[in-house]
């Protein structure tokens, strides 16, 4: 069923326009393929990579140029132009990217420019969270000594010339404090170490494991010490006994019976005499038997 607003002439015009567009597109593709066959694909790839790095700073003209280069690269990959050359180049680029990734994360230790024997012994690259200042680009994983391409030279500040600042002589300080024990000392054996073996062996520690002879000698020494202690104790006890006997003899001598004193000759009162007899100072008088 034919629509009321359908027109044969309009349909013919549409079909003719589509045919013309297809012809034009085919002609464009032929022209682009001829042009890109003479283009170096590796150079084209590097141009895209260089422009991609500074994409934020590009002008409108450079952005249009980058868009055209990307379209040419997609056309080359889609139509398999320079296929053998591109495959080898892309495989090499993948290998380079893997090596760069390994180099970024590798721990260089003392070779790293960030190495510090106390604060950073592994030489790890500090991250953005470990720094007080914000980083525009991530810190590179560089090693010592730095190449001239890794750092930039800055002009001298004019304020220094105005202030007449004089730097002290000698090398500038590397750390805020003295760092020691970073290198192994080169020890050279002197001839004095080989002069006498007795001095050298005096500093060699003995093994903790003892032989049977050493155990036997130690036991003999302990027995000797015990015998000496017993002899000392016996000597002390004999001295005490001698002292006791001497004291007893003195007491006997003091307590020996004195000569009998007649009642007429003694001038002591009977009470005093009884008291002296009770404490043992005076012997009791013997009663004369009738």
- Identify the band that residue 209 occupies on the pLDDT scale cut at 50, 70 and 90: low
Helix (H) / strand (E) element for 119: namely none
Reported as a single tens digit per residue, the pLDDT across 17-62 is 898 889 888 888 888 888 888 888 889 889 898 888 887 788 888 8
Residue 65 contacts residue 51 (beta carbons within 8 Å)? yes
Domain segments of the chain as ranges: 9-106, 107-146
Average pLDDT (254-265) is 46
Angle at 206 (CA atoms; ends 201, 207), nearest 5 degrees:
145
Reported as a single tens digit per residue, the pLDDT across 157-198 is 888 888 887 878 888 766 555 556 666 666 655 555 544 444
- Residue identified by tokens 């008088």 is 285
pLDDT over 80 at 139, yes or no? yes
Question: Would you state the structure tokens that stand for residue 222, as one six-digit string?
Answer: 């302990």
């Amino acid at each position: 069923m034919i629509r009321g607003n359908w027109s044969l002439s309009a349909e013919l015009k549409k079909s003719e326009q589509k045919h013309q567009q297809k012809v034009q597109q085919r002609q464009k593709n032929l022209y682009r393929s001829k042009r890109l066959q003479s283009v170096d694909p590796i150079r084209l790839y590097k141009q895209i990579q260089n422009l991609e790095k500074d994409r934020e700073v590009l002008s409108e003209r450079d952005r249009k140029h980058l868009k055209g280069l990307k379209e040419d690269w997609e056309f080359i990959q889609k139509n398999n132009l320079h296929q053998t050359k591109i495959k080898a180049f892309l495989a090499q680029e993948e290998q380079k990217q893997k090596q760069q990734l390994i180099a970024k994360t590798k721990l260089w230790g003392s070779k790293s420019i960030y190495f510090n024997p106390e604060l950073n012994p592994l030489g790890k690259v500090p991250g953005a969270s470990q720094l007080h200042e914000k980083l525009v680009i991530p810190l590179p994983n560089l090693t010592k000594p730095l190449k001239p391409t890794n750092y930039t030279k800055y002009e001298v500040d004019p304020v220094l010339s105005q202030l007449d600042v004089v730097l002290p002589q000698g090398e500038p300080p590397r750390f805020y404090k003295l760092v020691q024990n970073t290198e192994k000392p080169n020890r050279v054996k002197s001839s004095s170490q080989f002069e006498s073996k007795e001095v050298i062996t005096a500093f060699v520690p003995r093994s903790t494991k003892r032989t049977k002879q050493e155990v036997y000698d130690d036991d003999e020494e302990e027995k000797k010490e015990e015998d000496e202690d017993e002899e000392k104790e016996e000597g002390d006890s004999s001295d005490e006994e001698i002292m006791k006997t001497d004291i007893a003899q003195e007491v006997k001598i003091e307590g020996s019976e004195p000569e009998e004193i007649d009642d007429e000759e003694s001038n002591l009162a009977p009470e005093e005499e009884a008291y002296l007899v009770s404490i043992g100072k005076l012997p009791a008088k013997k009663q004369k038997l009738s």
